[in-house]
Structure 1
Amino acid sequence: MRRRGAALVAAILVVAGSAGLALLVHLLLGLLTLSIAVPASADGRRAASALAQVFAADHPRVRIRTVPVPDLAAAAQALDAGGTPLAIVRSDAAGQNSQTLVILRRDAAVFVAPGAGGVERVEGLRGRTVGLLDGRPLDEGLLDRILQHYAVPPGEVRRRRLALDRVPEAVRRREVDALFVVAPAASGLWLSLYAALRKAGADRPRTFEVDEAAAIAREDPVLETIDVPKGTFQGSLPAPGDDITTLSVSYRLAARAAMPDWLAGEVTREILTNKARLAALDPGLAGIEAPDPDDKAQALPIHTGTAAYLSGNLPSLSDQMQDAVYWLGLVASGAASLGAAGAALYRRVRPRQPPTRVMRLLEIWLAVPAADPADLDALESEADALAATTIRAGAHGRVESTEMRLVTLLVSHVREAVRRRRVPGHAG
């Protein structure tokens, strides 16, 4: 029983030591892969590639793996389902388990009418056709939200999805009365859009605002307002013609709540300190900003690790690694000391068993008096062989002196017993 207990203690110590060593090796030498769900669009691929390059340069053991999904809604679903620890999401379709690490950009929601004399306000869209840029399924839901606020039934506004290169033809044929575009204010998309409108003969496209944007944002906090100054949209003619205020949505790098605070804080730090590099790799990331941890009214939560980093309460990764190494060293030292103490205690309390050779010689000595005469030679030969083995082991220092004396004594007793059995007329 004692031997089993000692073996169990030893096994536990070995397992604990191995686990600690494996954890230490993982922390110091391991490769951490972070999967990020991104829309399978050119914008999504560029953003993911830029993030991967920055992390590869600064953290060689942190790998960003891109998981393409059909659209932004699917990215939020992948995050909610636990398929990926990170995702690029849009604020108006962020999902239930999306916690913000950084804001990647803000997009302005803008209506553009092809020319003068057409639609000038959101209310004027009733019974009209609105063009939506192809490949942006969330824009239609945002359009519906705006129409509902202005008491325009969404079903009374027709929709037509267009690729950007199809805009001139659609405008010439009067297939659309206005365009609804959601894009960063500094995006080159606006230059292409206004160029397409002028190509279609719309010399002075009219840009009109969502003038009740603040009220909509109060009703739906995942939306925000944004001011677009006159002439923000680059081109030969200033657009918009006046300062406008409209709705905006934000693109965010989000993580699941289960992500450790130290990891969320480190990802946040890496992105915020490399904004210029990321913008150079992907102009769509020129608007990276930190979320406001003091804004208690925001609808999208900030990850606790990000909040701790932004408030200066999160230790750096190097500090945490040093702490981990320190504590692992203490655990390993304690385990080694405990193992040594346990081994010493076991050696002290374990029962002392006679050596196997001594026990066998004792059995031979006791067996000689009753053995058949034909077996005496075999018993004596076995005793001699055991004596020879013991002497060879003793010559190499592998036999204690006590065992050597017992073997010598028992071999002499065996020989004496065999001699007496061979005396004529002696029966044992």
Structure 2
Amino acid sequence: MLGLIAKPRRRALIVALAFLFLGGALAAFYFLSPHAVLRLTTGPEGGQAHRFVEAFIKVAEAQHPRIRIKPVVVNNLRDSSKALEQGKVDLAIIRSDVRLPANGEILVILRRDALAFVVPHHSDISSLADLSGKTIALPTGPAQEDNSHALDILLSYYNIVPDKVKRLFLAAADIGAAIERKKAAAALAVGPVGPGDVVETVASIAHATHGAPKILDFDDADAIVKRFPIFESYDVPQGGFHARPDVPDDSVTTLAVNYRFAVSIAMPDIVANAIGRSILAAKAQMMNLSPLAGQIEAPDTSDQNPLLPIHPGFADYLNNGDQSFFDQAQRYLYIVGIPLSVGVSLFTLLFSTWSARGARKDRDALRRLIALAGEAEAADRARLESLEHELHAAVAASIDASGNQAEQWKTSLAVQHAMRRFEQRRAALSATPGPEAAKSEIGPPHSS
């Protein structure tokens, strides 16, 4: 009886242990697996983009403890775009006028930097067309070559060969003295309305020339933007670059470039959605670490001709709100759920087939035990010995085949029934003398 019950219990125990092991493995994978890592370019070290990224990493990792952002330092903004194209990073900071990545799509606009052409208060320069044959000073820094390239593009709009305008790279604090000594006629500083190169350059010129400098006004800004979409028309408010005296003394229209977070077009929609939402949600916290975070904004989804398209996963959220995010999640659940459902169905089918096969074995074993009991009732000694060998084999087969408790009980009854029939037949054969014993009782025949 113990043998009959132990086998199915062992089988059930093995199945239970298998599921327990699977559950434990999944739990261990969830809790012990390494954090997700997102690689992000930081821009040139020491630049404003680098400082902003440091602030973003602190806030993002505090909000998402299981996500680790790995900063990847690049030499310049061109290398940042290249790293995204080559798959070396997941997110990259790019600038609208510097080598856009071929595989890039944007999430958010980080900030806009005005291209401020600054001239002393006594200068007769009123347009970029007046810069031909003159020298222009640019603040030194990680983006100085990119700023110089932007100047080349604008000069080409006025049909000025770039070589006709010399460049002088100086620290922002030294540009005023260079202009006062006639070493440069104007300055080009690129930066936000707020702390940065433009404010420092304006202050330097104002101090050296003892007067409030002027910011060139682009009356043709819209025409330039139409020809070179890498720029934007940008209105600088009165006093945007200097409070006392106001610089500019009235609002002026200039041009701007923008910095953006770009991701690969291969990034899953739900991931891009989550990153974009996190950046917008963390804006207030990042402002405590970097004032530039206050300029973060979502891109314009109505723009029909963007330099780079918005990633569709984040665009859905911007157009449709939270519901779109859940729809994206639901699509991924379907992707996972359908194969899982098919797998469960296949497992159920295999388990049912295996159970049906086991039930057939149970029935065959029961039939054989009953048949052996019937054959034993009329068997002679020789046949009974042969049937006993078959009985042992049938009992062993029935033990292997027994599955659930009901089948075990039936098998136990059948075994007991067969063994009683064999014992009864052995007793009957022992009570009946065999042929040899009968002959010895009659004795040898008498001779006549």
Is the TM-score greater than 0.5?
Answer: yes
Contact 2:242–2:248 (Cα < 8 Å) also in 1: no
Contact 2:173–2:200 (Cα < 8 Å) also in 1: no
The match for 1:421 is none
Quick one: which amino acid aligns to residue 324 of structure 2? L
Q: CA RMSD in A?
A: 3.9
Tell me how far apart the structure 2 counterparts of residues 305 and 190 of structure 1 sit (CA, whole Å): 36
Quick one: which amino acid aligns to residue 90 of structure 1? R
The match for 1:341 is 352
The match for 1:357 is none
Sequence identity of aligned pairs in percent?
A: 32
Q: Cα deviation per residue 1:202-231 (whole Å; 9 max; x = unaligned)?
A: 422121123321111111222211111221
How far apart are 1:120 and its partner, in Å?
Answer: 2.5
Quick one: which amino acid aligns to residue 334 of structure 1? S
Tell me how far apart the structure 2 counterparts of residues 333 and 300 of structure 1 sit (CA, whole Å): 43
Contact 2:118–2:202 (Cα < 8 Å) also in 1: no
Residues 140, 323 of structure 1: CA spacing in aligned structure 2 closer, same or farther, 3 A cutoff?
Answer: same
Equivalent residue in structure 1 for 2:324, among 308, 314, 320? 314
1:22-421, aligned counterparts within 5 Å? Answer: 25=29, 31-42=35-46, 43-93=48-98, 94-135=100-141, 136=143, 137-312=145-320, 314-316=324-326, 320=330, 323=333, 330=341, 333-334=344-345, 336-341=347-352, 343-344=354-355
Tell me how far apart the structure 2 counterparts of residues 328 and 56 of structure 1 sit (CA, whole Å): 33
Worse overlay, 41-50 or 23-32: 23-32
Residues 305, 321 of structure 1: CA spacing in aligned structure 2 closer, same or farther, 3 A cutoff?
Answer: closer
Contact 1:132–1:181 (Cα < 8 Å) also in 2: yes
Tell me how far apart the structure 2 counterparts of residues 127 and 296 of structure 1 sit (CA, whole Å): 39
Quick one: which amino acid aligns to residue 116 of structure 1? H
Structure 1: runs of 5+ lacking an equivalent: 1-13, 351-389, 406-428
Contact 1:79–1:87 (Cα < 8 Å) also in 2: yes
Tell me how far apart the structure 2 counterparts of residues 25 and 178 of structure 1 sit (CA, whole Å): 62
Quick one: which amino acid aligns to residue 215 of structure 1? A
Q: Cα deviation per residue 1:257-302 (whole Å; 9 max; x = unaligned)?
A: 0000011111111111222112222112211111111211222211
Question: SS of 2:189's equivalent?
Answer: strand
How far apart are 1:349 and its partner, in Å?
Answer: 8.7
Quick one: which amino acid aligns to residue 97 of structure 2? D
Q: Cα deviation per residue 1:309-357 (whole Å; 9 max; x = unaligned)?
A: 111252249955994786686466435424523543665799xxxxxxx
Tell me how far apart the structure 1 counterparts of residues 318 and 64 of structure 2 sit (CA, whole Å): 20
Residues 203, 25 of structure 1: CA spacing in aligned structure 2 closer, same or farther, 3 A cutoff?
Answer: same
Contact 1:190–1:234 (Cα < 8 Å) also in 2: no
Question: SS of 1:119's equivalent?
Answer: coil
Residues 280, 243 of structure 1: CA spacing in aligned structure 2 closer, same or farther, 3 A cutoff?
Answer: same
Tell me how far apart the structure 1 counterparts of residues 244 and 196 of structure 2 sit (CA, whole Å): 13
Question: SS of 2:160's equivalent?
Answer: coil
Q: Cα deviation per residue 1:374-396 (whole Å; 9 max; x = unaligned)?
A: xxxxxxxxxxxxxxxx9xxx9xx
Residues 271, 299 of structure 1: CA spacing in aligned structure 2 closer, same or farther, 3 A cutoff?
Answer: same
Q: Cα deviation per residue 1:117-159 (whole Å; 9 max; x = unaligned)?
A: 3422211100000111222121111111111111211110001
Contact 2:60–2:282 (Cα < 8 Å) also in 1: no
Structure 2: runs of 5+ lacking an equivalent: 1-17, 362-391, 403-411, 420-448
TM-score normalized with structure 1 length: 0.72
Quick one: which amino acid aligns to residue 55 of structure 1? A
Worse overlay, 200-209 or 271-280: 200-209
TM-score normalized with structure 2 length: 0.69
Quick one: which amino acid aligns to residue 95 of structure 1? P
Quick one: which amino acid aligns to residue 314 of structure 1? S
Contact 2:175–2:187 (Cα < 8 Å) also in 1: no
Worse overlay, 194-203 or 77-86: 194-203
Tell me how far apart the structure 2 counterparts of residues 172 and 319 of structure 1 sit (CA, whole Å): 62
Tell me how far apart the structure 1 counterparts of residues 104 and 272 of structure 2 sit (CA, whole Å): 13
How far apart are 1:68 and its partner, in Å?
Answer: 0.6
How far apart are 1:240 and its partner, in Å?
Answer: 0.8
Residues 99, 143 of structure 1: CA spacing in aligned structure 2 closer, same or farther, 3 A cutoff?
Answer: same
The match for 1:408 is none
The alignment of Structure 1 onto Structure 2 pairs a total of residues equal to 354
How far apart are 1:53 and its partner, in Å?
Answer: 1.7
Tell me how far apart the structure 1 counterparts of residues 247 and 301 of structure 2 sit (CA, whole Å): 34
Quick one: which amino acid aligns to residue 348 of structure 2? S
Tell me how far apart the structure 2 counterparts of residues 144 and 196 of structure 1 sit (CA, whole Å): 24
Question: SS of 1:179's equivalent?
Answer: strand
Tell me how far apart the structure 2 counterparts of residues 399 and 331 of structure 1 sit (CA, whole Å): 29
Tell me how far apart the structure 2 counterparts of residues 268 and 39 of structure 1 sit (CA, whole Å): 19
Quick one: which amino acid aligns to residue 75 of structure 2? P
How far apart are 1:250 and its partner, in Å?
Answer: 0.8
